[in-house]
């Protein structure tokens, strides 16, 4: 099972297992990662699952789709070039070890 590392803004990290095909957001919730509220349940319409993708994973994760791109403008913390909504990141075996940093707030 792929593993994802969530890094808190203060630097503390938490590793969780993610079912292939599930979203990174779902893996965080199932794994008990705090800092992702996911109010809309994964519909790309709340921006409370905002994460920053570690630079070395950017190519593999890819960029946001059009709807996600629009919604990222409403994130509580400023979006950055590596911002994604974690509900829109589908986990594959190739993303084993993915590092996602949580924003200060959602
Ligand atoms: Fe709402 Fe991701 S859970 S945008």
Express each pLDDT in 2-55 by its tens digit.
999 999 999 999 999 999 999 999 999 999 999 999 999 999 999 999 999 999
Structure pTM? Answer: 0.96
Q: Which of 79, 87, 89, 100 to mutate to test the pocket of ligand 1 (most atoms within 8 A of CB)?
A: 87
Closest C-alpha to 48, from 66, 75, 80: 75
User: Which residue's alpha carbon is nearest to atom 4 within ligand 1?
Assistant: 44
Grouping H, G, I as helix, E, B as strand and the rest as coil, residue 74 is coil
CA gap 14, 2 in Å, rounded: 14
CA dihedral 52, 40, 63, 80 (to 10 degrees): -40
What whole-number distance in Å separates Cα of residue 85 and Cα of residue 41? 12
Atom of ligand 1 nearest to the CA of 40: 1
pLDDT tens profile 47-83? 999 999 999 999 999 999 999 999 999 999 999 999 9
């Amino acid at each position: 099972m792929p593993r994802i590392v969530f890094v808190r803004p203060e630097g503390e990290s938490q590793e969780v297992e993610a079912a292939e095909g599930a979203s990174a957001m779902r893996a965080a919730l199932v794994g008990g990662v705090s800092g992702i509220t996911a109010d809309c349940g994964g519909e790309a319409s709340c921006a409370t699952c905002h994460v920053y993708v570690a630079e070395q994973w950017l190519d593999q994760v890819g960029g946001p789709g059009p709807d996600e791109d629009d919604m990222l403008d409403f994130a509580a913390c400023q979006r950055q070039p590596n911002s994604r909504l974690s509900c829109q990141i589908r986990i594959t075996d190739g993303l084993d070890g993915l590092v996602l940093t949580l924003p200060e707030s959602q």
